[in-house]
């Protein structure tokens, strides 16, 4: 799921995994509506859950928030320790879940945080655009997530104030702001394939990451001087690792000026040349005639030549005829819908939104 970026306007540091209430105000720099993050003020206040990185005053942050979603959220220890199955919730003037509130069912308990299902009102839903919606237009959206199963599939009128054209079928985060439903984020990392017309939003540079969204046990370094050096953060995938004291480790995502998919293909051959089918699923998700062989390894000191064409790879080598030769090929192809996209230009606002997405504190 695509995160919702916000600006910390609370006048204090927003803690990690905090509940952040959202209001929408005009940016002094652009006049465009931006999400202003602070403690929630009442039960109808839309809110998201902050990432694992605390957000300094006036700094950018990001979070998720919709019904029927699972998240790690900080809880107020003064209220005691939650138990699995308990229901806690957000409360006005607090960054943390409180025992006296409701809306979040506890699934697992950690140190100062709980993994819970957001069952009640976060004020934010996921809805699909049922027809193309240009900036400034109000169109029909169909709810995918609501406060309960009775809302799923319901249609509402939603205004697109800040994004370019949103294609039909695109999932979005929507929220009711001053009586009007509005798109607050385009979810271009959903389970379904997204139209390429949605690239260029604040988090589009993460297209194809695992992320996420997703997802998204993903973490990354923050803006400025992160753990891996200066400059922008790095998106990562967090995996179980028995060698790590904490039990988990991060793998960094490879960057590229183009949107590419990669695959590994293993062939075994007894002849000096041969032709082999590329996985048809890989061919289908790549632009036509963009798949190339970009590397290989072989279990012998021989010369190898390889070329991808029309869904097949032709391979030749200088080994001994009759001996089985095992060759590992690395393939790369342009993701379908992204042909011709290379080093796309971005604005400072998009840079800040991307920094918020990446600011997830790699350890």
pLDDT of residue 143: 81
Q: What are the pLDDT digits (tens) for 128-159?
A: 888 899 988 999 998 875 444 456 678 889 98
Q: Over range 93-98, report the average pLDDT.
A: 92
Sign of CA dihedral 96, 149, 145, 176: negative
- Checking if the pLDDT of 192 tops 70, the result is no
pLDDT of residue 147: 42
Greater confidence (114 vs 236) lies with 114
In this prediction, what percent of the chain has a pLDDT beyond 70? Answer: 73
CB 106 within 8 A of CB 116: yes
Q: Over range 340-359, report the average pLDDT.
A: 78
Greater confidence (195 vs 42) lies with 42
The 104-109 sheet, strands edge to edge? 69-74, 113-118, 104-109, 87-88
- Nearest one of 142, 177, 147 to 162, comparing CA atoms: 177
Q: Quick one: tokens of 236? A: 């990562």
- DSSP run (H or E) holding 150: none
Q: Provide the 8-state DSSP code for 205.
A: G
Tokens 């001994």 belong to which residue?
Answer: 320
pLDDT of residue 3: 61
d(CA 131, CA 142): 10
CB 327 within 8 A of CB 302: no
Q: Quick one: tokens of 284? A: 């289908």
Assign 346 a pLDDT band (cuts: 50, 70, 90): confident
pLDDT of residue 252: 77
The alpha helices in the chain, defined as continuous H runs, are 280-285, 348-358
Greater confidence (335 vs 188) lies with 335
Q: Quick one: tokens of 197? A: 């017309």
Three-class SS of residue 315?
A: strand
Residues 6+ apart with CB under 8 A from 161: 33, 135, 136, 182, 183
Q: Provide the 8-state DSSP code for 171.
A: E
d(CA 131, CA 236): 34
Assign 254 a pLDDT band (cuts: 50, 70, 90): confident
d(CA 129, CA 183): 10
DSSP 320-333: -TTS-EEEEEEEEE
d(CA 356, CA 350): 10
pLDDT of residue 78: 94
To the nearest 10°, the Cα dihedral for 257, 214, 186, 60?
Answer: -80
User: 211-236: string of b/e by CB count within 10 Å (b at 16+)?
Assistant: bbbbbbbbbbbbbeebeeeeebbbbb
Q: What are the pLDDT digits (tens) for 303-335?
A: 899 999 888 999 998 887 778 889 999 999 999
Mean of pLDDT over the chain: 76
- Checking if the pLDDT of 219 tops 80, the result is no
Q: What are the pLDDT digits (tens) for 27-85?
A: 555 555 567 788 887 666 778 888 878 899 888 887 776 554 678 899 999 999 999 88
Assign 110 a pLDDT band (cuts: 50, 70, 90): confident
Greater confidence (338 vs 351) lies with 338
List of domains in the chain:
4-65+68-118 (no CATH), 124-197 (2.40.50.140), 213-257+343-363 (no CATH), 260-334 (2.60.40)
Three-class SS of residue 24?
A: strand
pLDDT of residue 223: 34
- Nearest one of 161, 47, 42, 60 to 104, comparing CA atoms: 47
CB 174 within 8 A of CB 190: no
CA angle (51, 349, 226) in 5-degree steps: 45
pLDDT of residue 211: 34
Greater confidence (187 vs 184) lies with 184
Assign 225 a pLDDT band (cuts: 50, 70, 90): very low
d(CA 148, CA 296): 52
pLDDT of residue 232: 46
- DSSP run (H or E) holding 34: strand 33-38
CA angle (109, 66, 198) in 5-degree steps: 130
pLDDT of residue 350: 76
d(CA 288, CA 116): 44
To the nearest 10°, the Cα dihedral for 82, 87, 90, 94?
Answer: -20
Picking from 8-12, 112-116, 175-179, which range would have the lowest pLDDT averaged per residue? Answer: 175-179
Greater confidence (267 vs 125) lies with 267
Kindly report the pTM of this predicted structure. 0.42
């Amino acid at each position: 799921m695509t995160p919702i970026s916000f600006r910390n306007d609370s006048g204090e540091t927003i803690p990690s995994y905090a509940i952040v209430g959202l209001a929408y105000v005009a940016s002094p720099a652009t006049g465009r509506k931006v999400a202003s993050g602070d403690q929630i003020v009442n039960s109808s206040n839309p809110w998201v859950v902050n990432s694992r990185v605390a957000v300094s005053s006036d700094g950018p942050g990001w979070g998720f928030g919709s019904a029927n979603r699972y998240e790690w959220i900080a809880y107020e220890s003064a209220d005691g320790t939650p138990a699995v199955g308990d229901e806690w919730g957000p409360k006005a003037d607090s960054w943390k879940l409180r025992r006296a509130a409701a809306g979040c069912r506890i699934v697992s308990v950690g140190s100062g945080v709980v993994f819970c299902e957001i069952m009640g009102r976060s004020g934010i839903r996921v809805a699909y655009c049922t027809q193309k919606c240009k900036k400034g237009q109000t169109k029909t959206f169909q709810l995918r997530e609501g406060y309960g199963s009775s809302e799923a599939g319901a249609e509402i009128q939603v205004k697109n104030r800040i994004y370019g054209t949103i294609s039909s079928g695109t999932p979005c985060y929507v929220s009711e702001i001053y009586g009007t439903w509005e798109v607050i984020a385009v979810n271009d990392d959903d389970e379904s394939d997204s139209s390429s017309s949605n690239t260029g939003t604040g988090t589009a540079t993460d297209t194809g990451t695992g992320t996420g969204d997703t997802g998204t046990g993903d973490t990354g370094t923050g803006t400025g001087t992160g753990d891996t050096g200066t400059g922008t953060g790095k998106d990562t995938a967090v995996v179980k690792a028995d060698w790590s004291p904490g039990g988990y480790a991060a793998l960094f995502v490879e960057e590229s000026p183009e949107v590419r998919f990669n695959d590994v293909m293993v062939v075994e051959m007894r002849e000096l040349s041969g032709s082999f089918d590329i996985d048809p699923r890989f061919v289908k998700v790549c632009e036509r005639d963009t798949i190339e062989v970009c590397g290989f390894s072989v279990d012998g000191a021989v010369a190898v030549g390889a070329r991808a064409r029309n869904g097949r790879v032709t391979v030749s080598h200088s080994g001994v005829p009759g001996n089985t030769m095992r060759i590992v090929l690395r393939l790369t192809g342009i993701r379908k819908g992204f042909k011709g996209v290379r080093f796309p230009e971005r604005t400072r606002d998009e840079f800040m939104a991307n920094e918020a997405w990446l600011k997830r504190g790699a350890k």
